[in-house]
Amino acid sequence: MIRKIPLAKPSITELEISYVCEAVKNGWGDLRDYYITLFEERFKSYLGVKYAIATSSCTGALHMGLKALGIGPGDEVILADTNWIATVAPVIHLGATPIFVDILEDSWCIDPEKVERSITKKTKAIIVTHLYGNLCEMEKLIEISQRYGLFIVEDAAEALGSVYHGKKAGSMGTFGVFSFHGSKTITTGEGGMFVTNDPDLYEAVLTLSNHGRRRGQTKQFWPETVGFKYKMSNIQAALGCAQLERIEVIISKKREILSLYKKHLEALPGVKMNPEPEGTFNSAWMPTVVFPKELNITREMLVSEFSKKNIDARVFFWPLSSLKMFKPAKYNINAWDIPRRAICLPSYYDMGDDEILSVIDVIYSILRRVK
């Protein structure tokens, strides 16, 4: 049996183990929030924002943020049709209506022109998702949101460390959210982070995150409102602290992996991978390759061949509007077309060049067959 090449896995060293063991042994009682507070402080410093709240998931962070903005029934929220279900789920849970718009052909991120065309009197917010480490056109999107008086929410779950003209992904919107799932750049096993520069929004989300109990409330077990249980555990935060100490070296390795893929694959006519426009920095979370239509390489063909070689490649996100719970929006041409001829490639920290070349060889073998 050929050793499997996984899509993603975290890099865990003795540093992470030591932090977690310390939290397990001593992180209770008065120290129950020690690593949570430390992780939040270090994260907001890394990101360059004023406030951060560690959460049990990115989805929970998004849910609370939208709730704190007052989004609910009768409101519309614009987002890219290309997304994981987690981005739209909180919109549905709050009773608001998602409006799916198309993505750009080069970055696979939300199209600002399509956003503006979709704004109505009911529009309350725009969720911009930095897909696979790629960056949305934030200058255009922020200008649109300000002109129409809308909230702009950054879903930076896949773009920790990406930089847009000097500002880190997740730091530019009304609020930003991040994921620390085991497949992400850094991990806490499961977990997320809410960030903002708005003090009132911070306090509102902080209250919601702890069953509605307001910070500073001296009356025990006295919630101000019905909130959520979306807090991160101290043990998870300990793991996050250690991972954050190593983030630069982790991102550097991810970029090396993407660079090797691009060297071999973008040399092929019409093949595109994760872009890095001038003035930006792509943290290379998920190397993704999109094949030109004329090559006739399909998603199904790619999945089948990688499976035969025991390589765990992942399909490009299905358009959300293709799911049975939503109305099809086939006018979102790129969101419906690109997934049919794209694949996400393995890229974990300790992946060797020989493994990367094995992935590339599968693609080359497919090319030889379709020509």
Per residue in 51-102, pLDDT tens? 999 999 999 999 999 999 999 999 999 999 999 999 999 999 999 999 999 9
pLDDT in tens, 129-141: 999 999 999 999 9
Residue 215 confidence class, pLDDT cut points 50, 70, 90: confident
Q: Specify the higher pLDDT residue, 371 or 363.
A: 363
* Three-state DSSP class for residue 360: helix
Q: Would you say 150 and 70 are in contact if contact means Cβ atoms under 8 Å apart?
A: no
| Per-residue pLDDT, 218 | 84
| Per-residue pLDDT, 180 | 98
| Per-residue pLDDT, 216 | 84
| Per-residue pLDDT, 335 | 98
Residue 369 confidence class, pLDDT cut points 50, 70, 90: confident
- Mean per-residue pLDDT over the chain, rounded: 96
Residues 6+ positions from 356 with CB-CB distance below 8 Å: 257, 260, 261, 346
Residue 219 confidence class, pLDDT cut points 50, 70, 90: confident
| Per-residue pLDDT, 2 | 60
Among residues 223, 154, 219, the alpha carbon closest in space to that of 193 is found at 154
φ and ψ at residue 192, rounded to 5 degrees: -155, -175
Among residues 115, 106, 107, the alpha carbon closest in space to that of 80 is found at 115
Question: Is the pLDDT assigned to residue 257 strictly greater than 50?
Answer: yes
Among residues 311, 310, 333, 314, the alpha carbon closest in space to that of 322 is found at 333
Residues 6+ positions from 91 with CB-CB distance below 8 Å: 66, 71, 77, 79, 97, 98, 127
For 156-195, the three-class secondary structure string (H helix, E strand, C coil) is CCCCCCCEECCEECCCCCCEEEEECECCCCCCCECCEEEE
Mean of the pLDDT values across residues 322-333? 97
Starting at the edge strand found earlier in the chain, the sheet holding 97-101 runs 51-55, 192-196, 175-179, 151-155, 123-129, 76-80, 97-101
Which helix (H) or strand (E) element contains residue 34?
helix 34-47
How many Cα atoms within 13 Å fall on the side-chain side of residue 288?
29
For each of the domains in the chain, give its residue range(s) and CATH number, in order of start: 14-102+109-245 (3.40.640.10), 249-370 (3.90.1150.10)
φ and ψ at residue 277, rounded to 5 degrees: -60, 160
Residues 6+ positions from 280 with CB-CB distance below 8 Å: 135, 162, 163, 164, 165
Residue 343's beta-bridge partner residues?
289, 315
Q: What is the DSSP letter of 94?
A: T
Question: Is the pLDDT assigned to residue 262 strictly greater than 80?
Answer: yes
Tokens coding 225: 């409102």
Mean of the pLDDT values across residues 95-119? 98
| pTM of the predicted model as reported, rounded to 2 decimal places | 0.96
Residue 280 confidence class, pLDDT cut points 50, 70, 90: very high
Residues 6+ positions from 217 with CB-CB distance below 8 Å: 224
The residue length of the chain stands at: 371
Q: What is the DSSP letter of 82?
A: B
Residue 314's beta-bridge partner residues?
344
Rounded Cα gap, residues 341 and 347, in angstroms: 19
Question: Is the pLDDT assigned to residue 297 strictly greater than 90?
Answer: yes
| Per-residue pLDDT, 1 | 47
Q: For the chain, first and last CA: distance in Å?
A: 30
In percent, the amount of the chain with pLDDT more than 70 equals: 99
